């Protein structure tokens, strides 16, 4: 499948899924808008070479169904710049891509992508192996770049690879976020070649490869606990009691939760409380004491101190600055 065929797969997917449409298209790029069940996404796709696609994925949602059509037989690189993304290692095991992580995979894309933090920004590169074997860019041949060899190196037995990206790799992906507009496409091409060249010769430190895998059951426990603690922010829960509800130890619960959401239960709850309080300060005329109680603080002074630590402003200052039309 050449680049035109891969673009056609995206167009076909957009045409057959009523939650997605093409915002714009040129000969070398496409912008997709995606309506998710609880949010939206925007994907910018660039055709760099025959069989090579670059994508910028931005989602504010908890999940999205596959939007790339039937794209198989490829090497996929995924770099997480912000948020978290679930990566399926097998039918029963998953791990999570967090900020600064790189995944390398040769398997067929799954049907559903999950974002536990409801925010994800990532950069993705797809290399179609058959297309590159038949018509590899001259630049690849001159530099001895072999996409199939890179896939075998990082994904033996078709197992996915995930690790914190080394600084040199991270810098390439970060640079892709601010290309010179006058030579945007060629800039992306150079960065893709630079990335493949580094992966051809670079070995990741062994300690970078150690990751904790989670079963579907463990992930479900973490998600149910998240739903419980955020359903009513005025309530207080003990980790011991939450763990007892699922017949596991507090240590295991903390491990599952951090693995899925990238932060501790207490940090996640504090962030949720401050976010809800900020929205109430902006959108309602409720008193500070009333808002404090609604997010779990009996003492308004303690709430004000926590809010200032989180936002840099006390509640009254925040309300004056951000409230509109009240």
In sequence order, what are the residues at sequence separation of 6 or more whose Cβ sits closer than 8 angstroms to the Cβ of residue 302? 292
Determine how many CB atoms are found less than 10 A away from the CB of residue 97: 20
User: Which has more confidence, 100 or 13?
Assistant: 100
Task: Write down the domain spans for the chain.
Answer: 3-209, 216-322
pLDDT tier at 209, thresholds 50, 70, 90: low
Mean pLDDT rounded to a whole number for the chain: 86
| % pLDDT > 90, the chain | 58
Share above pLDDT 70 across residues of the chain, in percent, rounded to a whole number: 85
Identical fold at 3-209 and 216-322? Answer: no
For residues 48, 107, 86, 59, the Cα torsion angle rounded to the nearest 10 degrees is: 30
- Residue 64 vs residue 225, higher pLDDT: 225
Looking at per-residue pLDDT, the higher value among 178 and 95 belongs to 178
* Longest CA pairwise span in the chain (Å): 69
Q: What per-residue confidence (pLDDT) applies to 70?
A: 46
Residue 169 has pLDDT above 70, yes or no: yes
Model pTM? 0.79
Would you place residue 66 in the very low, low, confident or very high pLDDT band (cuts 50, 70, 90)?
A: low
- Which superfamily does 3-209 belong to? Regulatory protein AraC (2.60.120.280)
Tokens of 61: 């949602």
Q: For residue 311, what pLDDT band results from cuts at 50, 70 and 90?
A: very high
Beta strands in 192-272 (DSSP E): 214-215
Tell me, what's the pLDDT at 251? 96
Strands of the 52-60 sheet, one edge to the other: 20-25, 29-36, 39-49, 52-60, 120-128, 74-83, 101-105, 161-164
pLDDT in tens, 151-160: 888 887 666 7
User: Between residues 286 and 95, which one has the greater pLDDT?
Assistant: 286
CATH of domain 216-322: 1.10.10.60
- pLDDT for 286: 94
- What integer pLDDT is reported at residue 187 of this predicted model? 96
What residues contact residue 150 under an 8 Å CB cut-off, 6+ apart? Answer: 75, 104, 196, 199, 200
User: What pLDDT was estimated at residue 2?
Assistant: 42
Distance of alpha carbon 71 from alpha carbon 5, whole angstroms = 9
Residue 193 vs residues 49, 74, 146, 314: alpha-carbon distances, Å: 10, 16, 11, 49
Average pLDDT in the 312-316 region?
94
Kindly state the DSSP code that residue 18 receives in the 8-state scheme.
T
Mean pLDDT of 176-186: 92
The pLDDT of residue 268 is 95
């Amino acid at each position: 499948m050449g680049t035109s065929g891969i673009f056609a797969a995206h167009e076909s997917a957009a045409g057959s899924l009523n939650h997605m449409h093409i915002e714009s298209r040129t000969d070398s790029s496409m912008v997709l808008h995606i309506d998710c069940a609880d949010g939206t996404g925007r994907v910018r796709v660039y055709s760099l070479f025959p069989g090579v696609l670059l994508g910028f994925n931005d989602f504010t949602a908890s999940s999205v169904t596959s939007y790339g059509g039937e794209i198989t037989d490829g090497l996929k690189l995924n770099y997480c710049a912000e948020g978290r993304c679930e990566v399926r290692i097998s039918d029963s095991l998953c791990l999570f891509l967090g900020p600064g992580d790189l995944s390398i995979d040769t398997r067929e894309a799954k049907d559903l992508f999950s974002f536990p933090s409801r925010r994800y920004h990532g950069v993705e590169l797809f290399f179609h192996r058959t297309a590159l074997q038949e018509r590899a860019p001259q630049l690849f041949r001159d530099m001895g770049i072999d996409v199939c060899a890179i896939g075998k190196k990082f994904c033996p037995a078709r197992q996915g690879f995930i690790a914190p990206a080394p600084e040199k790799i991270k810098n390439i992906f970060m640079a892709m976020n601010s290309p010179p507009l006058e030579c945007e496409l060629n800039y992306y091409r150079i960065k893709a070649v630079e990335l493949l060249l580094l992966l051809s010769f670079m070995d990741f430190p062994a300690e970078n490869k150690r990751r904790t895998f989670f079963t579907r059951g463990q992930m479900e426990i973490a998600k149910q606990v998240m739903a419980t603690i955020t359903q009513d922010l005025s309530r207080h829960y003990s980790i011991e009691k939450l763990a007892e509800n699922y017949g596991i130890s507090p240590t295991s619960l903390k491990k599952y939760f951090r693995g899925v959401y990238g932060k501790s239960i207490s940090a996640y709850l504090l962030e949720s409380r401050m976010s809800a309080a900020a929205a109430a300060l902006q959108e309602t005329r409720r008193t500070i004491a009333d808002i404090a109680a609604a997010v779990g603080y009996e003492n308004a002074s303690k709430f004000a101190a926590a809010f200032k630590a989180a936002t840099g402003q006390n509640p009254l200052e925040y309300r004056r600055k951000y409230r509109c039309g009240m």
